[in-house]
Chains A and B, each alone.
Chain A
């Protein structure tokens, strides 16, 4: 760990939190939607699907909000973009693969 102080970089970090953060939250929820319990590959009833989809939609928000709140802990905006953007891309690639394979 380097001991450098946190740089403000307000705009860069905020935008990373908004955009990369949004796709990362969708990505995390997407992986959960495919592989989690009552997932997309399982046979579930219409009523179960109704509530599971709503649940998936609901948990995007807390994840995104937490990312947004803690994005300012990154030392620089470049770091924020690298980590969040990288994680978002990885999660979306995993989903693309899941969509193809399952």
Chain B
């Protein structure tokens, strides 16, 4: 395919600059994002077996709900019934809420004891996956703008650059695409190899990346778009009907039983089972029940489930993400829910999660390798002295990418120990993550990217190994450390061993390159620090 040379040059420049500005932010987003595919398993692993209260037989939930309404009248505003085996059967927020990001959330858990008496406990919400999700959505950038974290908007802007980088990369790759798509030229030197694999991963997962870029922009800036639309709509409403709602007040004793709600859901979405029911505003003007439902055989729209909204008194279904013809979502609803599903990767069961996990890591690799290619291109091939900007970018790349992985691994390794203390565990996770992340960046700048990469990878491997070793301590009685019990618990342990092996291998490779590789490279160090001139500066 022939493209004019000035177009190629233009888009090559665009690709370089969009990539270099957004790459590191996107690395954190993708690395953490690929881990969020297993957030349920992670929380399961990080939660002591006795943390959740005993789940009860499904037919007892109605009795439990009524007892909670009687003893804790404020729950009519917001309470959730859960049928999941590893969750308390009923819970509600003591402080904080499901919306927004807060480290201070406290949750009431309730269950029935064997005599049918209500038992409740107030606990901090321990969600290790919340740390991962927070990094995924904000890249760890601190601060808040409006009702969202500042990092969400910054990643939104990064997503613009990311989309432009995808398009420009595609444009200037097109002419040589057919020739060199599957070529991985190892013999032409490390630079060629990085470039070929960067192109291969980029092209092979292009549709995935386009979807991610578009959805991230929407997730970050939907408020802006809705306010733009409302101008266009004029006096037509964005949402809601044009006819007035009848003001009806419902009384709590008129609330249908859970069985009736189950029957209605089964009729609307056959084949789905109910995970949880969240009741809101039961004595207010707009009572609602949002119901999480799952069916492994269908395309899912949320990260973990489909949903269905109904009026819990009249059992009228407002809408649902299940578009099976029983509602009026039409083609529009199908497209919108598909966008969500394609971002969350929740449509293919376990296999789909693994695929998204791999493509997420592939994305992280794309940004990391992009930076490496930039560095290789700019290095002076005839000199051991490399420019300050090259060193700065190399240090930053190694520090941020490895630092993010080290920080997350550290939080996982510390998790079971932190549960032993009497503090807010979510705050503790943050301290562990940021301490390790910032130390990594400082170390990278102190010792230079080359040396830092070696012990950075060894450190990462050590932290990853700490995770299963900590769990092994659970064999010793009275330590307060618990053993893995479920398949997903073992998955986390095996996964961390996998990461440990991968970083050991990477450490070996890096070591070879640093000490024995080409000398005119920012990655070269002589074995002795005294002979090392400028790498520690920059």
Report yes or no: A61 in contact with B319, Cβ–Cβ below 8 A: no
Would you give the 0/1 interface string for A38-74, flagging 1 where the beta carbon is closer than 8 Å to chain B?
A: 1010000111111111111110111001101110110
- CB pair A68–B232 under 8 Å, yes or no, is no
Q: Give the distance in Å from the alpha carbon of A61 to the alpha carbon of B335 in the complex.
A: 14
Out of A50, A53, A70, which one reaches B229, CB within 8 Å?
Answer: A53
Using a CB–CB cutoff of 8 Å, the interface residues on chain A facing chain B are 5-6, 8, 22, 26-27, 29-30, 33-34, 38, 40, 45-58, 60-62, 65-66, 68-70, 72-73, 95, 99
Interface size on B, residues (CB 8 A): 43
B contacts, CB < 8 Å to A: 6-7, 10-11, 13-14, 160, 163-164, 167-168, 213-214, 217-218, 221-222, 225-226, 228-229, 231-241, 318-319, 327-330, 332-333, 335-336, 339
Which of A40, A51, A58, A70 is in CB contact (< 8 Å) with B319?
A: A51
* Chain A proximity of B155: nearest CB distance (Å): 14
User: Contacts A51-B330, A72-B11, A99-B234 given: A58-B336 contact, CB under 8 Å?
Assistant: yes
Give min CB distance, A3 to chain B, whole Å. Answer: 10
A-side interface mostly:
helix
Contacts A33-B229, A99-B234 known; A65 to B332 CB distance under 8 Å? no
Interface contact B14-A72, CB-CB below 8 Å: yes
**How distant is the Cα of A57 from the Cα of B231 in the complex, in angstroms?**
12
Question: A61 to B217, Cβ gap below 8 A?
Answer: yes
CB pair B214–A53 under 8 Å, yes or no, is no
Given A45-B241, A51-B330, answer yes or no on A56-B10 (Cβ-Cβ < 8 Å): no
A65 touches B240 (CB 8 A): no
Contacts A29-B229, A51-B332, A61-B214 given; does A69 touch B7 at CB 8 Å: no
Residues of B within 8 A of A72 (CB): 10-11, 14
Contact indicator A69/B10 (Cβ below 8 Å): no
In the bound complex, CA of A89 to CA of B163 (Å): 25
**Which residues of the other chain, A, contact B237 by a CB distance below 8 angstroms?**
49
Which residues of chain B come closer than 8 Å to A68, judged between CB atoms?
160, 163-164
Determine the chain B residues whose CB is within 8 A of the CB of A58 once the complex forms. Answer: 218, 335-336, 339
Residue pairs across A and B with Cβ atoms less than 8 A apart, 26 shown, are A6-B6, A6-B7, A8-B13, A26-B229, A26-B232, A30-B232, A33-B229, A38-B332, A40-B236, A46-B318, A47-B318, A48-B330, A49-B241, A51-B329, A52-B330, A52-B332, A58-B339, A61-B218, A61-B221, A61-B225, A68-B163, A69-B163, A69-B167, A69-B168, A72-B10, A73-B10
